[in-house]
Structure 1
Amino acid sequence: MSKPKLVVTRELPEEAMHLLKEEADLYVWESESESIPRSVLLQEVQQATGIVTNVADSIDREVLDAAPHLRVVSTMAVGFDNIDVNTATQRGIAIGHTPGILTETTADLTFALLMATARRVVDGDRFVRNGEWKSWGPMLLTGQDIYGATIGIIGMGRIGEAVARRAAGFAMKLLYHNRSRRPEVEQKLGAEYRSLDELLAESDYVVLMAPGSPDTYRMIGAREISLMKRSAVFINTSRGTNVDEQALYQALKEKRIWAAGLDVFEQEPIRTDHPLLSLDNVVVLPHIGSASIATRTRMAVIAAKNALAGIRGERLLHTVNPEVYEA
């Protein structure tokens, strides 16, 4: 009896690949640096029972139309805005993701990016490597204080709360904005709820942790940025689509806010000629929020287990659309 086919859009750590190979025939796109070409994906999914994907791949209606035997789409990510969930649900296709696993690792990276941006770590590294360090100067590469400053977190989910715990260790005043208030976080960490406008106006550090969705598309635009302090540092490790990048570029260029640290972009990978990359007051990373060896391995294993459960007709460990089981 032949095994069901799984399309794996990027080779995973060996532990996850071993699980998949035991139960499925695999098509694996093996390039680490390039996404699977659209034409290849559309061809390979025609006989597929499942897809193991990631944030770089658009699993839209066209892909779903090309895959009449599909039972499951498993993404190695928490977010799933790259997947047409509504169409998949209508067709009884379960969508799996990997929540919870990457919370602490992404919070680490978020706070590291905040610190690197505020204290000009990348500038300093470049300054030394370029042979520009000739002497000590009183205002040489000065940045912004972190300890005791005010941080405003937009999106107090798991990762937002983990960032708040790190901020508490720096004695930061903690503000947050969320779709609903989090009394337990307020009590535990002394966080104070604010409207979005109030948070933007009061914060020294604005950290965007909102999920990507139609409701959050470009939620930080020219008006919102105009409310921030001129000394404010803006950090985004959520989704690039949550920010109007042109408005952010103009504000940074004109020094209407002090700096930004960005791990995500509206189009990924970001173009090398993108205006944001021309600015010295921007620190950029290639979407590596969860990129520790241990975390990425755990994510891959969960993604594999979700996919295997889906092709067996079993309930996924973590399902985006549980209504497929009710149907």
Structure 2
Amino acid sequence: MYLNILVYGRLEKPVLEDLKSRHHVKFFKDNSENTPEFRDFLSIADGIIGLSLQVNSELLDQAPNLKIVSNVSVGYNNLDVKALSERNVMATNTPGILTDTVADMAMGLILSTARRMPELDQYVKSGQWLDNLTEEHYGVDVHHKKLGIIGMGRIGQAIAKRAHFGFDMEILYHNRTRKEDAEKEYDAAYLALDELLQEADFICLITPLTKETEGMIGKREFQLMKKSAIFINVSRGKTIVETELIEALKAGEILAAGLDVFEKEPLELDNELLTLKNVVTLPHIGSSTYETELQMSKLAAVNLEAGLNGEKPPNLINAEVWN
């Protein structure tokens, strides 16, 4: 069946070319949704596949033929699931594939922030390494420290596995529900959020962005942390209050932060985070390895074509549409 497929933001080339060989496909870059070309194609689109397109009632009103939106990501805070369901449009995501890749990156943030690797890399490259290092340049140990994980889903547990077995870290966690398998496997201790914030040496936030988690870590939470604590965010930028993180870092309320996500992406050049030496900033690279991105694109395409062919997609978010 030859269908109209709108590709937005990102889809790996082999998957894009495969779709083009069998369908009428148009690719649109980020922030192109207000162009006439986008609106014209949206009006005939049978399916949307890609990353970060804000799918809301306004957009759906312009897409009368739409049957499915296939996200190339695990998170789907860009989708108004209620609006999609009201119009009987399926929504899908790509869980599972990126778990280990994101967990690797989270551990990389923990290590690079604790040992100040990006900062000291620039120290060497700028020609400042002229003598032996002093205490001024020391980092802190990661091994045998307490790691507090907020959000013990697939990725949280993969981080716990690496930290516990690889670095002999003591695992603390907070989650909506107890995870007894994680408690047994990684000797993880379930704590109330405030208690975790007070006890952990490293705090890793890996929750989805929802109404309940938006802004969940702010001034009060940073003040509960140890002054020696390092905060890592690999969830979504809006799960924290970014200005209050900046103030906590400047005031010495916490030691450092490692961030892969931000309230506004790409990060604006006047953002104070870029001026702070005790912050490691990454451009939202959680799943960004070729192997993982290709597998996510492939799964998104499987979801898309299943929905378009009248079959239940393997990763359907709004099951009520199928029911």
Give the structure-1-normalised TM-score. 0.95
Please list the CA deviations of residues 247-299 of structure 1 after superposition, one character each: whole Å capped at 9, or x if unmatched. 10100011110000000011111211112222111111111000111000000
- 1:34-183 equivalences under 5 Å are 34-39=30-35, 40-55=37-52, 57-168=53-164, 169-183=166-180
Supply the distance in 1 between the matched residues of 2:167 and 2:75 (Cα, whole angstroms).
Answer: 29
Does the CA contact (< 8 Å) of 2:10 and 2:50 recur in 1? no
What is the aligned partner in structure 2 of residue 252 from structure 1?
249
Does the CA contact (< 8 Å) of 2:161 and 2:186 recur in 1? yes
Q: Which is further off, 277-286 or 103-112?
A: 277-286
Supply the distance in 2 between the matched residues of 1:143 and 1:68 (Cα, whole angstroms).
Answer: 57
Supply the distance in 1 between the matched residues of 2:278 and 2:87 (Cα, whole angstroms).
Answer: 47
| Superposition deviation, residue 36 in structure 1 | 3.0
Letter aligned with residue 307 of structure 1: L
Does the CA contact (< 8 Å) of 1:155 and 1:209 recur in 2? yes
What is the aligned partner in structure 2 of residue 261 from structure 1?
258
Q: Give the secondary-structure state (helix, strand or coil) at the position aligned to 2:107.
A: helix
Whether 1:212 aligns to 2:228 is no
Supply the distance in 1 between the matched residues of 2:233 and 2:89 (Cα, whole angstroms).
Answer: 31
Whether 1:237 aligns to 2:207 is no
Supply the distance in 1 between the matched residues of 2:31 and 2:121 (Cα, whole angstroms).
Answer: 31
Q: Give the secondary-structure state (helix, strand or coil) at the position aligned to 1:215.
A: coil
What is the aligned partner in structure 2 of residue 4 from structure 1?
3
| Superposition deviation, residue 137 in structure 1 | 2.5
Does the CA contact (< 8 Å) of 2:148 and 2:171 recur in 1? yes
Supply the distance in 2 between the matched residues of 1:303 and 1:191 (Cα, whole angstroms).
Answer: 33
| Superposition deviation, residue 138 in structure 1 | 3.1
Say what the alpha-carbon RMSD is for the aligned residues: 1.3
Does the CA contact (< 8 Å) of 1:123 and 1:141 recur in 2? no
Does the CA contact (< 8 Å) of 1:20 and 1:308 recur in 2? no
Percent of aligned positions with the same letter in both sequences?
Answer: 41
Q: Give the secondary-structure state (helix, strand or coil) at the position aligned to 1:214.
A: coil
Does the CA contact (< 8 Å) of 1:9 and 1:35 recur in 2? no
Please list the CA deviations of residues 156-182 of structure 1 after superposition, one character each: whole Å capped at 9, or x if unmatched. 000000000011120001000000000
Supply the distance in 2 between the matched residues of 1:172 and 1:11 (Cα, whole angstroms).
Answer: 36
Supply the distance in 2 between the matched residues of 1:114 and 1:266 (Cα, whole angstroms).
Answer: 20
Does the CA contact (< 8 Å) of 2:11 and 2:72 recur in 1? no
Whether 1:225 aligns to 2:222 is yes
Supply the distance in 2 between the matched residues of 1:70 and 1:199 (Cα, whole angstroms).
Answer: 45
Identify if the C-alpha distance between structure 1 residues 172 and 27 changes in structure 2 by more than 3 Å, giving closer, same or farther. Answer: same
Letter aligned with residue 191 of structure 1: A
Supply the distance in 2 between the matched residues of 1:224 and 1:209 (Cα, whole angstroms).
Answer: 16
